[in-house]
Amino acid sequence: MKRLFIFSKSTCLACFKRCCFQGWKTVFSFLLVFIVGSGNVRMQGQNKIVINTNDAKHIISKHIYGHFSEHLGRGIYGGIWVGEESPIPNTRGIRNDVVDALKSLQIPNLRWPGGCFADEYHWRDGIGPRDQRPKMINTHWGGVVEDNSFGTHEFLDLCEQLECEPYICGNVGSGTVEEMSKWIEYLTFDGESPMANLRKQNGHPDPWKIKFFGVGNENWGCGGDMTADFYADTYRRYAVYCRNYSDNRLYKIAGGPNTSDYYWTETLMKKVGNKMNALSLHYYTIPKSWGDKGSATAFDEAEYFTTMDKAYFMRELVEKHTAIMDKYDPQKRIALAPDEWGGWYNVEPGTNPGFLYQQNTLRDALLAAVTLDVFNRHCDRVKIANIAQMVNVLQSIILTDNEKMLLTPTYWVFDFYKVHQEATMLPISIAGVKYELAGKSIEAISASASRDKSGKIHITLSNIDPHQSQTVSCELLGFKTKKVSAKILTASKITDHNTFDHPKTVVPEAFKDVKLSNESLNIVLPPKSLVAIEIE
């Protein structure tokens, strides 16, 4: 809500006289406004949040906080892989600084090698001595030469360094059933076979444990340009040969719909629902259009509002796809897996258009918070998700420039939200004000709440409004609060971002504007901010 007060000396004197009859506290308030100055005064919104700690049923899977690294631009080469001879500190060719930053986030899984690249990737090109690996053209992303120096062994070494689960996406678009079947055998078979022996020959005697396996990617587009019915039949065939060897059990993820293609979801659930563990979903938040997506850093409030409005659209997508899945799978055995999500803007000026390198502002942090809130609050169906992407591509959490590395605002969102991993989701209701612009409105407040295994409660709260503070009264049903602490992520402008010259423009700070009273909290959220609260 906005209220406009216009002051003059005469009106202020009249107000002062009237206030004399209302007590000195009111007098002081008017004097304070007069001292600060006249003009457009933003009033705090009033919001009520109720968190029911007695009605907790579902666990927030840590795999909702997954990441994605494709052979695209500088996502792999320069961003993760620098080679063993690089002066940049590395472990077996993998950047130490990037690994350390990712380990701090406790990233649970990493998707690779694509994306569209997955459906032109032939895994045998990426094994064996690096100087003998064949080169190829990356036709999807910039037309550059891919030398395959980062392949299966290097990726799985990265996952071991990160202590995360690999999520491998197989080639359905241009690959054969035999090729996919033999890759799984190479990865996971512990007996005597041509593929297991080849793995041993290449320096890895023991099989890897591989859980997440995608049977194709974007099969409605770059992964084969298939119809839903054709892909459903194709999936059945390929999935048969995605075998479980020994005690390794694959979690098969079918290529799911593009945004709001509900027919695709209906078809896959109807025809192969009993043969998959999860169905993917891809949705990118694009402020303008595919032809001109808008700048990552130079945008006005109208474009910011549109971006946040489209970020909230993820909720509708999850709920509508879930409703279809519920018809065929009421027990919610099959997960919805939004394994590509994030903001997509024009590339940074002067960079290769095929490299999808973009900056990352406070807007992106709030976009990520809204999206993760949707996943958390639908964790009965959403079990795995992957932001696109991890380093130097699209909505990255890390940017690199040769030996330099910086953490983006989105990185700090994942840092704030890691407390929700494997915690029990607490139902939350929000009755609040709207953020309004040009006759449209969206929720000003987005939030998640969970209780971890030690009994602590964590609340993450975002104020989307870039101008107006939000006063939040948060009631905790069934929980006696003894201690509270908090931190905040915000900046002067919604366009603020970290650069290699100024890497700490948007970083967390301690937050003190949380007041504790029995079973409730009173919080004042500054404009355009994200606050993480821990309650004991």
Question: Is 436 a known active-site residue?
Answer: no
Residue keyed to tokens 């899984």: 109
Query: What is the biggest distance separating any 2 CA atoms in the chain, rounded to whole angstroms?
Result: 94
The region that residue 522 occupies, defined by phi over 0 for left and psi between -120 and 50 for alpha, beta otherwise, is beta
- The sign one gets for the Cα dihedral 388, 393, 394, 397 is positive
- The span from the CA of 75 to the CA of 262, in Å, is 31
- CA torsion 70-74-75-78 (nearest 10°) is 130
Tokens 């304070």 belong to residue: 32
Is 218 a known active-site residue?
yes
Among candidate residues 218, 301, 303, 519, the one labeled active-site is: 218
45: tokens are 């919104």
Nearest to 456 by CA among 492, 409, 420, 403: 420
Q: Which of 192, 340, 422, 509 is catalytic?
A: 340
Is the torsion defined by CA of 213, 218, 220, 224 positive or negative? negative
Element (H, E) at 407: strand 404-407
Nearest partner of 51 among 373, 516, 449, 489, judged by Cα: 449
- At 480, is the secondary structure helix, strand, or coil? coil
Give the residue carrying structure tokens 């039949």.
233
Strand partners, 49: 430, 474
Q: Which residues pair with 336 in a beta bridge?
A: 279, 382
Q: What number of residues does the chain have?
A: 536
Taking the C-alpha atoms of residue 228 and residue 463, their distance in angstroms, rounded to an integer, is: 39
Q: Which tokens go with 34?
A: 């007069």
Q: Which residues are catalytic?
A: 218, 340
